[in-house]
Chains A and B, each alone.
Chain A
Amino acid sequence: MSSFQNGGAPPRDLDDDSDIEEEALAANYREQVQYEGMEETPMSMAQQTDDIQSRLAAAAQPLDFSAPLDVKFASYDNYCSLFHFILNSDGPVDLEPPSYYWAWDVIDEFIYQFNSFCSYRNRIARQGNNEEEIAILREAPNTWGCYSVLNVLYSLIQRSQINEQLAAMKRNEEPMAVAGDYGSKSLYRMLGYFSIIGLLRVHCLLGDFSLALKTLDDIELNKKAMFARVMAAHFTTYYYVGFSYMMMRRYADAIRMFSHILIYVSRTKNVQKSAQYDSISKKNDQMYALIAICVAFHPTRLDDTIHTALREKYGDQLLKLQRGGPESLPIFEELFRSACPKFISPTPPDFDNPELNVDPLEHHLAIFMDEVKTNMWSPTVKSYLRLYTTMDLKKLAGFLEVEPEKLRGWLLVNKQRGRQIRWTDNGLLDGEVVGSGDLDYAMQGVSGLDSHLRSQGWPQVGGLVSTKLGTNILDDDFFRDGKGAFAW
């Protein structure tokens, strides 16, 4: 409960990402886990004395996935009246949230229900055989509508002045000075803060990946961030940021995000309650699948912990992805399907034309697969170029059994895709174009090709190579070879 009162802690140095901090966080986590067990008694007392407390608690309760439609509708109404009460009472309501993670649970559950309702509605329309439910859904196009969901999230953000508070903290100023009547109360501050994470998620579910990242402008991604106090929030944030980066083809940034959180999970898993760990273990596997995809696009040396786990979980798939070519396509598709968020379409489906209600997943997958196909020859090209410093293009085309014109295209594509935008500072959408750096070449002469291997940057005595981006350990930039063959 106290974690948010600590929110005013000075923002830490970007580079200061040490073990000490991770340990402190793990310790903090342990405390919280213990605390969680103890608080049941006061909560049940609160329920007896105060109706609103029980409503607060109910809002954070997961709704059964198979709940019938009327329960889903009722749940929506409950959320509406609760948020209306919180947002539109005469001044800020004087309530203490039931627990330090309550605000996260409420926003999480609210979005989860929105998500599953939209998916369900779309499925009913697509199948077109449940007349009764179709009739009910047709009558209520605004229930769980995207405008009302966004309205709640944005209102909570605005009421709490949370963006202003975060911006002040970034400038090393006192957030309370800009918090206002609402934002100075922990209930509003917490709801506002987690609504930002909620927005990230909703935008991503709707396929708006750049806006998803933009939403986090005022949040600094580090282990001191408020979301890091609630494991599920920490986890969710990195999953959606990583996924959005991947869809913007910023694979290095995506890998950085996934690696960060997966390392954190692997180091804290012993202190997490087993039930909680189960619920994140699925997302955990999904992120490994996404890392496999990103590494195939952007060969890089991973942290050892990640690399080992990745090989255990997706060893065969990774090998095929890294080999590229048409054989890799089904693997990309399989991993994407299993690891992407449950995309939704924001508007009510077209109940009169069931065929038009394509699952949004298929749509996003199709777009993603086009990019995969564009890149699928890069591994082949690279594997040959690594062997030569100068190479006749027609000869290489002969090896590969393709037309020289096709090969020229592959070479151009590989070179273009080697250049990527990478985050260095400021907002998540910011970044600089960086070459992938492991292999460089240019075409010269009549149908000729001059390829040149760039040095891998071997450690020299007294001059070790280092990475500037290392949020985690010395991973990314060390030796960018997908197979990690250059370990020393």
Chain B
Amino acid sequence: MGVPFDYAPDRPEHIDAILNGLDRYNPETTAVFQEYVVQQCDQKFYDCYANLALLKLYQFNPHLTKDETITNILVKALTVFPSPDFSLALHLLPPHILTPLSSSSALPAAGDAPLSEAVQKLNVLNNLLAQASYAAFWSTLDSDDLYADLIADVAGFEELIRIRIALTISQSVREIERPVLESWLGMQGDAFNKFVNGVCGWEIGGTVVKVPLNKENEAKGTIVRENVKMEQFSRVIRRAYEQPA
């Protein structure tokens, strides 16, 4: 079963009440949402719909904007890739946020140059994850101290990302060379063994890691068959008469 986009299992009642009422536009609720983002970061849960509501408040009331909260929301959105959450959050940020830094940093008055730099850096990470360039993701993450600052508030960021990567791998892979998987997961040695065996439940055999069969990686040919009644086709048949062209 699918889960509606606006549903979050861990959402407290008071947040739900704000989201469903006009208070979602009330600048005074900004503090409540901000606190909620902190909770999500600390306690490793995630509520995209509420975070988007906060970004909307910032969109309407730019003076209330807290850069740190924005980047935390984006970092949290990374941990649920390949969902569109990161992009949906970006859409609500100021339009100049993605313009190349050279032009905006030349402006002394552009007070939020650091924010647009951070957002663009995170966008690089997002694109690497979206393109399944996992090895490049880990090396990029290590390449700049700014990244360490940006992800610092989000508890278990690397672990959450790793689980997400493992999930996408399990959908497409039955066997994979150990060095490739090591680079994708950004870990080696004992830590790697522990994660792959313990968390993922995959089998390491020499230089090959086996992913157990699941619904997604079976790659089984399926024949879709369904019985339908003649009446259900009456439209098609009628159409054939209606539109001789």
A370 to B84: give the CA distance in the assembly, Å. Answer: 11
B232 at the interface (CB under 8 A from A): yes
Mostly, the A contact residues are: mixed
- Option from B4, B59, B217, B239 in Cβ contact (under 8 Å) with A430: B4
Residue in A19, A353, A413, A452 whose beta carbon sits within 8 Å of that of B131 in the complex = A413
Kindly list chain B residues whose C-beta atoms are within 8 Å of the C-beta of A150: 25
Interface size of A by Cβ–Cβ distance < 8 Å? Answer: 84
Stretch from A68-76, A80-88, A344-352 contacting the other chain: A344-352
B140 at the interface (CB under 8 A from A): no
User: Distance (Å) between the CB of A397 and the closest chain B CB?
Assistant: 13
In the complex, are the beta carbons of A370 and B130 less than 8 A apart?
yes
Interface set, chain A 205-224, CB cutoff 8 A to B: 206-211, 213-214
In this complex, how many residues of chain B approach chain A with their Cβ under 8 Å: the count is 74
Residue B82 at the chain A interface, CB threshold 8 Å = yes
Interface residues of A in 404-444 (CB under 8 A from B): 405, 408-413, 415-417, 419, 421, 424, 426-427, 429-433, 435, 437, 440-444
Stretch at the interface among A38-46, A325-333, A355-363: A355-363
| CB-based closest 9 A-B pairs | A432-B2, A363-B95, A412-B132, A207-B91, A457-B224, A409-B132, A429-B5, A452-B219, A444-B174
Q: Tell me whether B49 is interfacial, beta carbon within 8 Å.
A: yes
Chain A contacts for B5, CB-based, 8 A: 210, 213-214, 248, 421, 429-430
Q: Mark B104-145, 1 if CB is under 8 A from A, else 0.
A: 100101100000000000010011001111110000000000
B38 at the interface (CB under 8 A from A): no
A362 partner residues in chain B, CB cutoff 8 A: 95, 99
Total of A-B residue pairs, C-beta within 8 Å: 206
- Contact present for B2 and A367 (CB under 8 Å): no
Q: Are A442 and B172 in contact (CB under 8 A)?
A: yes
Taking the closest CB of chain A, its distance from the CB of B208, in whole angstroms, is: 7
Residues of A within 8 A of B2 (CB): 421, 424, 430-433
Q: Return B127 CB to nearest CB of chain A, in Å.
A: 6
Q: Are A347 and B60 also in contact (CB < 8 A) when A370-B87, A424-B2 are?
A: yes
Does chain A have a CB within 8 A of B8? no
Q: Which A residues touch B239, using CB under 8 A?
A: 19, 473
Interface positions, chain B 85-112, Cβ under 8 Å from A, are 87-88, 90-99, 103-104, 107, 109-110
Is residue A167 contacting chain B, with contact meaning CB distance below 8 A? no
Q: How far is the CB of A342 from chain B (nearest CB, A)?
A: 13
Q: Is the CB of A360 within 8 A of B221?
A: no
Q: Is B191 an interface residue (CB 8 A)?
A: no
20 CB < 8 A contacts A-B: A209-B88, A211-B56, A360-B95, A363-B95, A364-B91, A373-B127, A405-B135, A408-B180, A410-B132, A421-B5, A431-B2, A432-B1, A442-B219, A443-B175, A444-B174, A446-B175, A447-B177, A452-B219, A460-B225, A464-B233
A474 at the interface (CB under 8 A from B): yes
Contact between A429 and B235, CB atoms less than 8 A apart: no
Q: Are B130 and A455 in contact (CB under 8 A)?
A: no
Partner of A455, one of B172, B216, B219, B221: B221
**B49, B99, B132, B221, most chain A CB atoms within 10 A:** B132
| Residue of A206, A374, A405, A473 touching B130 (CB-CB under 8 A) | A374
Given the contacts A214-B6, A433-B2, A466 and B235 also touching, CB distance less than 8 Å: no
Q: How far is the CB of A177 from chain B (nearest CB, A)?
A: 22
Q: In the complex, how many angstroms separate the beta carbon of B17 from the nearest chain A beta carbon?
A: 15
- CB < 8 Å neighbour of B96 from A208, A358, A474: A358
Further 4 A-B residue pairs, CB within 8 A, beyond A362-B95, A419-B171? A248-B88, A347-B62, A409-B131, A437-B222
